[in-house]
Structure formats: C-alpha cells, structure tokens
Structure 1
Amino acid sequence: MLLEFRVKNFRSFRDEAVLSLAASPDSTLESTHTREAGLEKVKRVLNAAAVYGANASGKSNIIRAFQFMQAMVTTSNQVQPDQENNLTPFRMRPDFDTKPTLFEATFIIDGRRYQYGFEQTRRRVISEWLLVYERAKPQVWFSRAYNEKKRSRYDYTYSDYFLGSKKVWENATRKETLFLTTAVQLNSEQLKPLYQQFSEDMAIFPEGGSIGFDFSARYAQDPKNLQRVVSLMTAADTGISSVSFAKRPGRQFQLNIASGLSDIRDAELDVPQFGHLAEGQQYEFDITDESAGTQILFNLAGPIFDILQRGRLLIVDELDRSLHPLLVQKILDMFNNPTTNPKGAQLIFSTHDVSLLEGHKLRRDQIWFTEKDAEQVSHLFPLLDFSPRKGEALEKGYLGGRYGGIPILGTVDR
C-alpha cells in the first residue's frame, strides 16, 4: 500500500514534489474511499488520487517519475559498467543537469512503514536509504552515500535489525546499480517484500489504455474472469453482450503488467470478438471494428480486475482518454468500493474530467493539481491547500481558476 511519493529534479519538476495518499481527518466517505493504515500516526490511507492540470503542466511527468523509479529498482542491475542511464533532470537551468535527482516512496507492508529512496545522476547512484518504522522511531536498515574524497567508494551503515550477507551485497553493488536490487538478486529475504512493491504490485500505464489487448485476452481465458470482463463491458452500455476469441496471426504486445511496457512481436493472437444482439440475432465484430473507447475499456479491463483481485497499485496517465465520463466514474467507483476492492488496491491517475469533482465521487484529499510557473517549473499541490468548504462547488471553483492548475488562454493570431 503506497503512502507517499517524492521526486525532485526530474523533467519539469525542479523542486521537490510530494504526492501523499494519507487520508485527512475528514470523515466524509471514510468507509468507502479510505481504509485503515494500521499505523499510529497515519490512521487511514486513500484508495485513489486524481491529478488535474493544464496540458504540459507536469501531470505526465509525475507518472514518468513513478515509472523511472520502478525501472531503476527492477532493472538497475542490467545497466552495463560506466553506462549512462536515461535520466532526464530539469533542463531549464544548466546547473541542474549535473545535480542528483531524488526519488522516494513510502509503503505500508504487513503493518510496517517502509521509507525507501535514492539520489542519482546519469552516471552513478549518489545515495540510497531504507528506513523501517516498527514504532515511532525509524530503524535505518541501510544507508549508502558516495564518498567524494574516496572516488568510486561508498560509505555504508546498517541497522542491527537488517540481516544477511551485507558485505557480499555491498561489494557486488556497482555505482550504476541500486543496493536494493543487488541484495534481492542475491537472496535478501528481508528486502524482497519491498522489491515486490515495485516489481509485482505496481502497474504503470503512461499512455492511458494504449497498451494492446493481449493481457486482457489472456486474463479472460478463465471463465470467471471472462464473466467479469463482459459485465464491465455490458455495464458501460457499449452494446456488447458477449466476448469470444479467434486465433489469428498478428503482432503481439507482450505486456509487463508491473511496468506497463510492452514489446511487439509476430505471434498467433487470441483476437477479441464482441457480440452485439439486435432483434434476437447475434452479430460478431472484431475489436478493430469497435470504437476507440470500447477498445481502451477492454484493454484496461484485464489489468483493472487483476489489480483489484490482488490488492495492487494502478497508475494511469489520462484515464479519461477516449472514455465517457461515466465510464471513468465507474472505474473509480470500483476502487472506492470495499465490495469490489476488498484487498486495498489503489488507483492514481491524471485526468481532465472535471465531472469527478462533484457528487461525492472524490474526497477533497483525493484531488491534486499540477501547474507550471513563469520559470517553466512544475509544482504539485493538493486541493486541501485552499481549505475548501464541505459542499463547495469544486468543478466551478477549478474551472474558475480558484485552485490553479488550468491553462491561461491567450489570443490566436489570424
């Protein structure tokens, strides 16, 4: 369960940005939109968070920051010695190009708070740390810092609570790689639950539903799962009454559900066929014959149900891409409903769908904004910074510019 995410000096975010899923003391929709955290200082955690903002304000860069951190944790050991990574620091100030970029994520795992982060440049990891909270005082399980005076050397500190072959892992960790990645690859059982938060429990879709149908097609091979997918398609009023599959040669999107990335290769595909009932007659349509919204909904259906069933984290850029506002609301409701979300799955998404701001679809602490200033620096801030009243017309306030996060429109030359 994600509690907080921090990033600094990444793409358009020059200064530190913090996205928190810790619920405020507000009791509104508490039983549906939040769940118990099991911590003394953080009582409840949000099931979902929505990020609003103008085009090019930084919404997508927050998603990319999650994706980069996930990729570093899961694949940093694949970076070759002295190979530069593809990190993109803030580019509007030349001096920030060589400054380190910070990533930090805080999770609740089995009732304990794990605060893990690192700083890095394109050429090396500068620092890395893991704090584990059993009680109020943290245990610094490990800390790693680049020593400028001793080139290519790092200073490590460890807690007595952190067990295993620490020196072996330390010696195997190159400057381009993370200690967490190396230790887990070399069988650290204590760090495995944290690593799995990135490798198995976090699904990131940086391009909305443009992920191909392959995962949903595989997911729906199980009859129970097929029934779930059909129920969502039917509830969305697509006119679809059944889903079947036809074997055909084509190009396969090999989706990694943890990262949201896909490779394309030639393969025999299970191509979805959608049944439409008209005057008692069933007509079959290929997925390519359906609307863009229907295709995206099917593509997202498998991952959404898989994430809800397993209590994972879904991060989607532009969830409302080609989807009707009522469909976006339906997906959000699935995460904000203890019946459909019994295991604590979470949803973070960017959107322009202002209809979600009204009608108790979101709590006030679930709403965030991004905005760029005159120096082209993106800022992330919560609606709560504006102390909105209960029952305040949030859609009207947002479109009226009260909270920021909207484009300042000028005139267009003729």
Structure 2
Amino acid sequence: MIKELKCKNFKSFKKEQILSLEPINRLESDLDIFNIAEIGGEKLFKTAVIYGHNAYGKSNLFKALKTMIQIIKFSGNNDYEINIDNFKLDEESSSLPSMFEITFILNELTYRYGFEIFKDTVIKEWLYKKNKREVNIYNRENEININTSYREKLKKYVEFTRKDELFLSSMIRNNIQDEMKEIYKKLTEDIVIISGEQINTHMTSTLILENDERSIKELILTCLKFADLGISDISVKEDEKSASEIPDFIRELFAKNTKDMNTSKGKWVEIQEQIVHKKYNNEGLEIGTIDFDLLANESEGTIKFYSLLGPILDSLLNGKSVFIDELDSKLHNTLTTKIINLFNNLGINKKNSQLIFNTHDLQILSDKFFRRDQIYIVDKNEYGESELASIGDYKGIDKKTNILKHYLAGNFGGIGRVKDINDLSFNNISNNNLMGD
C-alpha cells in the first residue's frame, strides 16, 4: 500500500506537495472500519478523492507519479532521455531540480524512496527502510553512500551507475535480486495509473484471455450486468492474421505503441471484443441474441466502464494501488459510487488495494463516502502555483459539517473564480462580425 506521495517543481506544482493516505488521529467509527486498512503497523486509507477546478492541476499529481515510475523503469536504458516538465511561471524554477518521493509498505515494512533530477542528471537519491525506526539504506548526493549493513551487497553496482541513471535502476539493469528487485517491482508493477479520457479496453480483454478459468470472465460479466447496461454476455477472441494484410506504417505504429497487437514472426494478433445483447420480437418476447462490436457499437460510457474493470479487478485481486484520472468522465454517478464501494467492501477488497482518483462529481461529497482527510482539494494562486490540501487540515470542520456546501461556497478553494455570464457585453459586436459577411 502507498502511504504518501510528494513532488516539487513539476508542472504547476512549484512548492512541495504532499498526498498522505495516513489518517489524521481522529475517529469516525461509521467510516473507519471500511475505509482504513492496517498493515505493517500502519493505518492507511483504501481510497482518496481529489477535487479542483479545470486547469488547477489536479491531474498533475497523477502525471508526477507516472513520470517518477517511468524514470525508475527506463533510466537504466542508454537511449532513454529524462525530460521533466518543471514549473515555468517564475524566474528560478527552471534552474532548480524536480523532486519525487513515495512512501509505501512492502512485506510489512515501510520504505521511503525518492530522488531529485535537474535536466538529465540525478542530483540526489535516497532509500529508507522502517521497522521500528527509519534507517537509511543508501543516500546519493555527488556520490552514493551505502549503509554499512548493505555495503558489501550493493557497492559493486556503484561504479556501473551513470549520472543520468537512478541507482535503483542501475542495480536492476545489473540483475540484482532480493530486496532491491522487490522494491523495483512494487513501484513499477503494483501501481497502475489510468487516464479517464484515454479509453483502452486492452487490460480488461487481456485479463479474460490470459485466465483460462471462467471465473474471471464471469466476474467481469457480473459487474457489467450489475451496471444495468443491457449486456447478457461478452466474447473476447484473438484473431491472428498475416502482417502483410495491413500497411507497414500502421503495423509499425501499433508495434511501438500498443500491446494488443503482436507483429512478431510475421503475425498480427488483433483482439476482438463482442458484447451480446438479447433480441426481442414485437410482443416483447426474447427470440435470441445479437452481437455488437464493443468499440463500434457501444456507448462511450459502456466502453469506459468495461475498460476500467480490468485494472480495477486486477488491483483488487493482487493488492495494487490504482490511480484514475477523471474517474467520473463518461460515467453516471451510480457507476462511480459502485466502483468506490468495491474498494471499501471488506469482503471484496481482501488484499488492501487502493483507489485514488480525481473527479468533478460533487454528489460524492454529499453522500459521505469519505472522511474529511480522504478528501483533497487542488487550488491555484494568482501566480499559477497549484497547492494540494486535505479538508482534514482545516480547523472548525467536523464530521457534522456539510462539506459540499462549504466547497461550493469556496471555503476550501479549488472552485475557481468564474465570472457571471451576464457580465458579457455584445453591444459593440455586429451580426456580420459574428457570422461573417
């Protein structure tokens, strides 16, 4: 599970921003039993939500985490170029490093890992481990200093580490095993980041194809039926064709950018997804079924819900942390709330999976799904700097407070300063100017 995320000098985040999934020391008995997991001596939230006005930066936290993971995964490659989008609305940030840090639980122990990068150079890097107390495993600033108890095991990897490469990535590149590899896998495989706008059905369909047992398919189908989308069955197949059947530029494009087509050995494997609906006669009697192509014939909301089911169920089955940008996009509020309930359900979320998402769905605030410290607001000041804060940090706000009312009143920020549309003036604009001559 993830305990905390930090970033600094990234996109609209100039100053250090912190997303904590650790409860503030107060009880809310009606929510705590469902919303809080205890692991490795730590109490952590299973879910958290982020609100904020358009262009205020609520997606940038997800992008910061994605950037961090990409650097961990790829900085070991010689041809990988680190490119960080730092804060650009002042004079000094372009000459300062960007910082990323994550604190997480692995094997009942708490680890804290982070780094600072300026242009293509790793300025600092650190890894801490906590059982009863926090101990530094290694620290990098100008040179890599390793804790005495780890020195014999890790020192041989120091000389192979480039200045544009993380030490953790270098150790993986040089085939280190055990604890360091487990940390790497935790960070690169157990954190899933999804864009709410970029719909991709691949993960859900692959989950069905790679599991021979019908239980996975039945689980996905049950979720689709619960959503009342009129679906009675699903069919996912791989259609193998000769690579010569498609133009070269399309084959190369898919080979580089997707995983649902395989052009190796002259073959092209395409995933076909069919959604089965019941068919009725004029008297309303069922007379059979009809197959619809998922992407061609179903609504964007259905495609979005199907696309999310794969990563969500994979997370729940394997104890992963899933971050969804714009969870509510194209989804009705009832579907959004059902997804949240999956993670807060003690009988379903048995491996302490986490869901962190941002949204514009204000109904969630009035439904009281979350403790105050599970709700974050991203505000932006007059200098274009985004700031992230938990409602749990505000004084005078208790569990009886109408959070939605206070948010709409602008008491937490993040609501925007939209002008009244009635203030627009069309007096000096002629019809010819609007419509053309």
Question: What does residue 152 of structure 1 align with?
Answer: none
**Residue 12 (structure 1) shift:** 0.4
User: Cα distance, 1:38 vs. partner?
Assistant: 2.8
- RMSD over aligned Cα atoms: 2.2
Residue 361 of structure 1 is matched in structure 2 by: 369
226-235 vs 388-397, greater mean Cα deviation:
388-397
Task: Say if 1:368 and 1:381, in contact at 8 Å, map to a contact too.
Answer: yes
- Note if 1:66 corresponds to 2:65: yes
Deviation at 1:361, TM superposition (A): 1.5
1:164–1:73: structure 2 CA closer, same or farther, 3 Å change rule? farther
User: Does the alignment pair 1:32 with 2:34?
Assistant: yes
The answer to whether the 8 Å contact 2:208/2:236 transfers is no
Q: Corresponding residue for 1:179?
A: 167
Partner of 1:352: helix, strand, or coil? coil
Residues 177 and 247 from structure 1, CA distance in 2 versus in 1: closer, same or farther, beyond 3 angstroms? closer
Q: For residues 224-270 of structure 1, give each alpha carbon's deviation from its aligned partner in whole angstroms, at most 9, with x where no partner exists.
A: 111011111111111111111355579899899xxxx8468574323
Query: Residues 144-183 of structure 1: matches in 2 within 5 Å?
Result: 144-146=140-142, 155-162=143-150, 164-183=152-171
**In structure 1, C-alpha distance between the alignment counterparts of 2:81 and 2:95, rounded to whole Å:** 13
Tell me which amino acid in the other structure corresponds to 1:374: E
Q: Deviations over 1:314-350 (max 9, x none)?
A: 0111011101111111111111112111001111111
Partner of 1:76: 75
Correspondence for 1:220: 208
SS of 2:327's equivalent in the other structure is coil
Residue from 338, 345, 348 that aligns with 1:340? 348
- The equivalent residue for 2:186 is 197
2:127 to 121, 127, 130: 130
Residue 174 and residue 209 in structure 1: after superposition, are their counterparts in 2 closer, same or farther (change >3 A)?
same
Q: Are residue 232 (structure 1) and residue 223 (structure 2) matched?
A: yes
Q: What is the alpha-carbon distance in structure 1 between the residues aligned to residue 40 and residue 155 of structure 2?
A: 34
**More displaced stretch, 209-218 vs 13-22:** 209-218
Deviation at 1:392, TM superposition (A): 2.0
Counterpart Cα distance in 1 of 2:389 and 2:113: 22
Residue of structure 1 aligned with 2:411, choices 399, 402, 405: 402
Pick one of 84, 88, 93 that aligns with 2:90: 93
Aligned-partner Cα distance in 2 for 1:98–1:193: 34
Conservation of the 8 A alpha-carbon contact between 1:211 and 1:262: no
Aligned-partner SS, 2:92: helix
Q: Deviations over 1:56-114 (max 9, x none)?
A: 1111111100001101111111144xx75211110001321120011010011112110
Equivalent residue, structure 2, for 1:304: 312
**Higher mean Cα deviation, 385-394 or 116-125?**
385-394
Could you tell me how far apart the structure 1 residues matched to 2:27 and 2:343 are? 19
CA contact (8 A) 2:12 2:60 kept: yes
Aligned-residue offset at 1:175 = 0.6
1:241 partner amino acid: S
The structure with the larger Rg is 2
1:158–1:273 Cα change, 3 Å: same
Q: Secondary structure at the match of 1:191?
A: helix
Q: Retained in 1: the 8 A contact 2:377–2:390?
A: yes
TM-score (norm 1): 0.90
Q: Distance between the aligned counterparts of 1:359 and 1:212, measured in 2? A: 29
3-state secondary structure, aligned to 2:96: coil
Is the CA contact 1:209–1:299 (under 8 Å) kept in the aligned structure 2?
no
The question of 1:286 aligning with 2:293 is answered yes
Question: Distance in 2 between the 1:299 and 1:209 partners?
Answer: 11
> Which shows bigger deviation, 274-283 or 371-380?
274-283
TM-score, normalised with respect to structure 2: 0.85
SS of the residue 1:275 aligns to:
strand
Are residue 380 (structure 1) and residue 379 (structure 2) matched? no
Find the aligned partners of 2:325 and 2:186 in 1 and give their Cα distance. Answer: 20
